Structure 1
Amino acid sequence: MFTPRIHILLIEDNEADAILVQSDLQQAMGDQMTVTHVERLSSALELIQQESIDLILSDLTLPDSDGITTINQLRKHAPSIPIAVLSFRDDEKLAIKAIKAGAQDYLVKGSLTEGVLARVIRYSIERKRIEESNRKAQNRFQTIFEKAPLGIALINLQTGRYYDVNPKYASIVGRCVDELININHTDIIHPDDFQSYQYDISLFLNNGFADYKLEKRVLHHDGSIIWIEIFIVPFEAITNDEICYLCMIEDITERKQMIENLRQLTAHLQDVREEERTRIGREIHDVLGGTLTVLRMDLDWLSKKINAEPMHERIESLYQLTGEAIETARRVSVNLRPNVLDNLGLLGAIEWLVRELEQRKNIDCTLESTISNLSCHNKNYETTIFRIIQEAFINITRHSNATKVDVELFEDEDDVVITIKDNGVGITESQILNPQSFGIIGMNERTQQYGGKFEISGTPLQGSVVMLKIPLVIAATCDGELIND
């Protein structure tokens, strides 16, 4: 356990005591140690600078030093060497003072035994190694704390008090370290986020989470606003009722702005795409559909005028093909931009989608609505809701193997809530989180575009549930009709 030849420095001015202690040390440790004996503190301090010492055994009363001053001087010149005090006084108060001054142990002359000395040597050296290890760990932590690229603070979340703050934290929130130490940690939160921040902190404290992450806005001292990501973990218990938490923050303002820019770009592209789909759908319906209809009418007229075969049969064939082309043009036009969305409004379009799913895919569908009529002046709202439901139906027909679909519409305060339930195989979490699930990603992005909430969940062999909640700024409510201003 111990390296050979532990070097012990014995500071003792009484020759008889020194011989007795060295004899006891020899019996306790044998050839595992060497002992250097000096009589004065000054000699010991010179020796410490010249040789490597593993343990100091020192009397408190020396010719050139006395009492606790001896320990103070040794600790000053040899901070990393363990010290054991030798004293003729069996004094508990003096022993406590010596330990507080930095000694690792207190020994009474005359009561030393082989076992006691061996224990003192082992324990003193080991305790000092532990202290040194803790000191180095503390220094490493402090270096990381001061130089970390993340903002770090030690905070009491119950009282709001800062214990310590690193320079990066102060820089991110736009305040100096001394200022933060003297304020509550909630004082930097933007007023509009204060209530939600308090709720999140209460949720974290009351549920005993191992860690917690949240995003909030911070109000700089100069009035500017930034977004920060906060990561919180319990750090250490100060008392039974007081816990220090480690809070790490990162400025995510630029990231938030990039996400918002991408979201706006996505919304713009969706609007452009919808406009283009509407234009193309109208062209197909009005121009191509109209031309095909005229052609079919002429073919019908020709079939009545020409009875000779095989000309009549050829005209009848063209007449049938033209009818199929008209039906195809109608279906393409409807898929691009259903007329029901413009003519019947959102609720009528949803009813049309449900009937289409039931008729075309032979799936039993039900639609329940507590809203007798839902229409919005903002057509983008209607299109967004329509497209999300349409995509949900596409996913059901492609992946669920469902035989029944239930759709429900109702009001929830200022929101319109739409739930779609099927009895299929049930979507899995891996499918929901799959980055290649573009349908789900698109539905979620469309919902977020208008500050809504989109959720999808599944139970194996029991089906899936899609919940869509989109806020509508309601200007008036009359006979169940919601009008978005």
Structure 2
Amino acid sequence: MCGALGLDASSPVVERIDTLDRFTQRLADGPCDVVVSAYHFDGFTAMDAWEVLLGMPGRQPAFIVLSRSASEAEAIDAVRRGACDFLRKNALAQLARVMVRALDASRIRIAKEDSQAELAGSVERSTELNDYLRKCVEEELQAIAREVHDDIGGSLTALKSDLGWIGQQAKEPGVIDHVNAATEMLQHAIRASQRIVQDLRPPVLERGIVAAVDWLADSFERRTGVKTAFTSTHQVIHAPEDVQLVTYRTAQAALTTIARHAACSEVRIDLSDGENVLKLEITDNGRGLTRAELDKPRAFHGLGARARTVDGRLAINSRSGGVGTSIILSVPLAPVVGSLKTAHRGAAALG
């Protein structure tokens, strides 16, 4: 067995090694460019040396196997297991060419690995940036919601009270008509501000995630007429605010998608926190989704990205042909002691 170090055309450095222990030690001392190994040694084979090489940190050098007696099956196995090349000892004149070819292949492999690592790092950085921006947006939405609720909502309510007083004091019919019209427009503005606050930061979440999802289910059933069953393992599930918000947004988006595309007659929503994992599962009995629909870039990627902001994951189970769709959100939770009571609304079960 020999290892060629710093191999270049002007000053190749070659070391001869004849034991597996010395080979292991040599690899630990520093990298080499190419290893040329006889297939059979006293007590071990080239494939044993290859396994040692695979277990070492860093990049694997080009590995060439030499043999006079190895079978064709052994030669094929060596290449299949990762050796760059296999050369008969009676063709040693070709060794230099084989080494150059192996080094070229090794450089191409290393360049490919570097490129893939750089791409993976870029994707990871992009994902982290997107998650960070999503968190920033969510925090900004919450701040806007508080401002709309506290400042604008409070001002509109005070203005409505003042208009009511003016209406009580007014005597002329024309003034009263204007006051009534202004009051009606003001009431419309108040409802609009409440709807904006609801979209930005649902006040119902202040009652907890169980109550919030139950409210979504009830609103969905009243709005669409689709029979909706909601069950929860506890009447109160303790979870951080950001986890509750992600869970609420996931349920909200899933129900919106179901209303638009599922063509279903029943929906089941299950919320649980067993084994320190908050799990939300929303299942419909609609037409299901095709692979093309699932692969659309904007289909459910936003929900998946939102789930990652709280270290959660989103799974979509669906087949087209009227078998329905399940959207499952799973988020890890810190261990807590909760109630054993079960909350439920409706008794519908999908067949």
Give the TM-score category using the shorter length: 0.5 to 0.7
Match of 1:182 among 18, 36, 48: 48
TM-score of the aligned structures, taking structure 2 as reference length: 0.65
| TM-score relative to the length of structure 1 | 0.48
CA contact under 8 A between 1:400 and 1:425: conserved in structure 2?
A: yes
Question: Aligned partner of 1:324: which letter?
Answer: H
Aligned-pair CA distance for 1:306: 1.7
- The match for 1:442 is 302
Superposition RMSD on alpha carbons, in Å?
A: 3.2
Equivalent residue number for residue 230 of structure 2: 367
Cα distance in 2 for partners of 1:440, 1:392 equals 9
Query: Quick one: which amino acid aligns to residue 410 of structure 1?
Result: S
C-alpha deviation, 1:358, in angstroms: 2.1
Of the structure 1 ranges 262-271 and 180-189, higher mean CA displacement relative to structure 2 is found in: 180-189
How many residue pairs were aligned? 260
Q: Which residue of 2 aligns with 1:383?
A: 245
Residues of 2 paired with 1:356 and 1:367: CA distance? Answer: 12
SS of alignment partner, residue 286 of structure 2: coil
Q: CA deviation at 1:301?
A: 1.5
Find the counterpart in structure 2 of residue 220 from structure 1.
58
The separation in 1 between residues aligned to 2:193 and 2:180, in whole angstroms, is 20
2:135 matches 1:293: no
Alignment partner of 1:270 is 2:270 = no
> Deviation string for 1:148-167 (max 9, x for gaps)?
xxxxxxxxxxxxxxxxxxxx
Indicate the structure (1 or 2) with the bigger Cα radius of gyration.
1
Aligned with 1:313 (options 144, 156, 177): 177
CA distance in 2, matches of 1:340, 1:175: 65
Deviation at 1:411, TM superposition (A): 4.0
Tell me the residue number matched to 2:215: 352
Offset at 1:353?
2.0
Which one of the candidate residues 313, 318, 321 is aligned to 1:453? 313
Q: How does 1:195-274 map to 2 (within 5 A)?
A: 219-220=57-58, 238=73, 245=80, 251=113, 252-274=116-138
The answer as to whether partners of 1:263 and 1:449 remain within 8 angstroms in 2 is no
Identify the match of residue 271 of structure 2 among 406, 409, 432.
409
Q: Which residue of the other structure, out of 419, 424, 438, is the alignment partner of 2:281?
A: 419
Query: Does the 8 Å contact 2:262/2:288 carry over to 1?
Result: yes
Displacement after TM superposition at 1:175 (Å) = 7.9
C-alpha distance in 2, partners of 1:404/1:186?
Answer: 59
Give distance in 2, aligned partners of 1:411 and 1:183: 50
Greater strand fraction, Structure 1 or Structure 2: 1
1:433 and 2:299 correspond: no
CA 1:450–1:296 in 2, change beyond 3 Å: closer, same or farther?
A: closer
Q: What is the identity, as a one-letter code, of the residue corresponding to 1:364?
A: K
Is contact 1:347–1:373 with CA below 8 Å preserved after alignment?
yes
Distance 1:304 1:385, change over 3 A: same
How many Å separate the matches in 1 of 2:237 and 2:134? 22
Deviation at 1:270, TM superposition (A): 0.7
Unaligned runs of 5+ in 2: 1-30, 38-45, 61-71, 83-108, 342-351
CA contact (8 A) 2:131 2:309 kept: yes
Is the contact between residue 238 and residue 244 of structure 1 (CA under 8 Å) also seen in structure 2? no
Match of residue 471, structure 1, among 328, 332, 339:
332
Higher RCO, Cα 8 Å, sep 6+: 2
**Aligned AA for 1:458?**
R
1:258-300 C-alpha deviation (Å, 9 max, x unpaired) = 1211111011101110111111111111111111111111111
Contact 1:188 1:220 in 2 (8 A): no
Shift of 1:181: 4.2
Gaps of 5+ in 1: 1-172, 190-217, 223-236
**Residue 416 of structure 1: how far off its partner (Å):** 2.4
Q: 1:391–1:439: 8 Å Cα contact kept in structure 2?
A: no
Deviation string, structure 1 residues 245-265 (Cα, Å, up to 9, x no partner): 476995232222112111110
> Kindly tell me: are residues 367 and 298 of structure 1, through their superposed partners in 2, closer, same or farther at Cα, counting changes over 3 Å?
same
Whether the 8 Å contact between 2:212 and 2:248 is mirrored in structure 1 is yes
Specify the alignment match of 2:323 in structure 1: 462
Q: 1:185 to 1:470 in 2, by over 3 A?
A: farther
* Gap change, CA 1:350 and 1:311, over 3 Å in 2: same
- Choose the corresponding residue for 1:336, options 186, 200, 211: 200
Write the distance in 2 (CA, Å) between the matches of 1:186 and 1:361: 65
